[in-house]
Structure 1
Amino acid sequence: MSQSFKKVHAITGMKDILPDGSAHWEHLEETVRQWLAAYGYRNMRTPVLEHTRLFTRGIGEVTDIVEKEMYSFTDALNGEHLTMRPEFTAGMVRATIEHNLLYDRPQRVYALGPVFRHEKPQRGRYRQFHQIDVEALGMAGPDIDAEMIVMLARLWKMLGLADIRLELNSLGQADERRAHREALVRHLEQHIEVLDDEARRRMHTNPLRVLDTKNPAMQEMANSAPRLFDFLGEASRAHFQGVCKRLDDAGIAYTLNPRLVRGLDYYNLTVFEWVTDRLGAQGTVCGGGRYDGLVELLGGKPAPAVGFAIGVERLLDLCDQSGAFQAAPECQVYLVHQSEETQREAATLAEKLRDAGFKVIVHPGSASFKSQFKRADASGAQVAVILGEDELRNRQASIKWLRQADDTQAQQETLPLESLVDELKQKV
């Protein structure tokens, strides 16, 4: 007697997206592609797997992502160290350098797909999650930073989302951050008694992240810490003011948050987040900023760059809360039949309807009219087309309106098969 097979479940933190939910994803993705096309952005698709050194170099060895969260392994065939991408930017910059995309012009590119981080799953945070990643490469001015924020405001409007607010800061340039870092480390050393273990570990490797603490016992220390903004030089301040002026021109409200930092090492100048109170602890819907040093860091010629990433699962959660997406019907027309002969005629008619642009389901197999109509109604179809033996003999079809667009329509009527497609094109 063979041993029974133990049921297999999805890996913790990696979720199935079922057909009803997937319809919302497709709606969002279509909206996103239209939105990005309006600003001249084109799609880039990079591999899920990259060399581990791309991320340790680009993201930074002392970041949480590299230290704790990457899915990395050694390729058994050739011994290469590989990692499933934990974010898009490093891979997109690698592709830009490798294919010399900045040779003759700047690039506006985006990616949409899964990324992987090994962290504790919770609402809005999964081990396989999805991002919309948008990058403007080769453009240095504050106008591009502001345009990215303005275009995000347009996306929220397109999706009918109101409860998202903008927070803004500047990280300045490397020399300004170094001066601030020295002052910050001194401040942390003076308050070491209130630092938790994580903060003490980070205070000499990534002290800016200490200020991002959620520990209530450390809030007073963080609030009194030296502000990076006070260390900015004239050029950095002018860039930030240029961004703010353009946001004012666009009527976009924002909050200056001097404690706003990014978790990755390659950011400089403008950083921003769009946040909400409607997602619990995971309140950041979108984060981004400028990273002018990354192209050179990864082996390319120096080039400015700015970008952002949106968490798709969090965005869909907001859309579902606001009722932005309605359940999509499986089809527009559902074909009901009586016998094998009428089913064959229904299959032929279905192809003609599809040629005319309709979404059509032919009821599979045989069943009573009652159960076929029940399934037709559950499909969300607007109309059921009925092919019985009497209809087939008379070269007719009965149509029953399941969801009437016009209250004056008859609930059921009979039409010749020859004119059925044209009649439905006028009415559905």
Structure 2
Amino acid sequence: MAETRDSLSARKGALRLMAHVLRDGRMLGDGASGLDGPDAARALRLAGLALRHMGRADAMLKAAMDRQPAARIRDILRLALAEIHADGAAPHGVVNDAVALARMSPKTAKQAGLVNAVLRKLAEDRAGWEALPPPSLPPWLRAPLHKAWGGARLAAIEAAHVAGAPLDLTPKPGVTVEGAEVLPTGSLRLPGGQVSALPGYAEGDWWVQDAAAAIPVRLLGDVAGLRVLDLCAAPGGKTMQLAAAGAQVTALDLSEGRLRRLRANLERTGLAAEIVVADALDWTPEEPFDAVLLDAPCTATGTIRRHPDLPHLRAARDVETLTRLQYKLIDRALGFVRPGGRLVFCTCSLLPVEGEHQVSAALKRHPGLVAHAPDPVALGLPAEAASDHGLRLLPDLWPERGGMDGFYMAVLTVPEAGA
């Protein structure tokens, strides 16, 4: 790999993004505003690579060093090891840039020699890297997942997280993209690439959406002409699906900032929806809807393969806060559905407490409410996706195709008036 001054700039940006996550507790993408063009994309990719493989890098460093270095030096070493061993980058250029990064700060300049010595030694230990197990999820998440899915399934999920995610697109009806695999569910899959450079982007022929995230809308069936409410709608993938299928969509979200992205997506795709900025717990529609889709706020642990920063940002205390909110949102959303109408509830979480348990509890709270378990095979999914009252998707499904995000989803029908 040819190393240039641009490579040093991107690596410097990656270090800043890593600190943004590990020490400031903020999401990876939130720190990219000060980077421009290709440097921003490469810095994000490198930071994500380092976070994804941090467990392996730390294990190598612990065995090679008597004392843990300062935080910035540790991040420089983590980034370099991930590039060399996980990304296949040429060691010479990576080590040179790592030393240069250490020298940039007066606080770490004296440790540049340490960086050079450690990396030159560990860069040659490919076998040692490959012998290390995949990075484990944090204990607060690992324990409930082990209880829910068992040790073998947990190991497969962790392996899927390390492998990362391909690029999935949801096309408008009849649209194809050259070179993309058509998945059994109807999504298009590419190995990656710059999104805005792909054919059909400027024309608004498709939008980026993981294959798993595209399933909840399909659970509503034919929505042409129906009034559908998309709750917690930003950034708008499901809103666009509904609009493209002919629904009269109202998209509601609490965040005006996130809705700006939804508006931009609608403009690019030429699709239309009524947009409402409001808190779903306070807002009341003028009349009930034929259907409501609630993609509820959650830990987002089902998206770790695409967002390796999440394990470093979430904690056990978040689960209790979010499950309380989901409980309230389900009850509120059911009140927005006309008699005989449907609610699709979904979360991009791996935790049953944010999925299966929520639906079971809702059925007990609301007499007459009916859950309809979808047929996964009819939707193009593996039969094992069938779950209590709905569908359970995990990152290790479709390993031969590149996996999918973790999701739980269910269809609930509100009783008819007088029933």
Q: TM-score if structure 2 supplies the norm length?
A: 0.26
Choose 1 or 2 for highest CA Rg.
1
Point out the structure with the larger helix share. 2
Q: TM-score if structure 1 supplies the norm length?
A: 0.25
Point out the structure with the larger strand share. 1
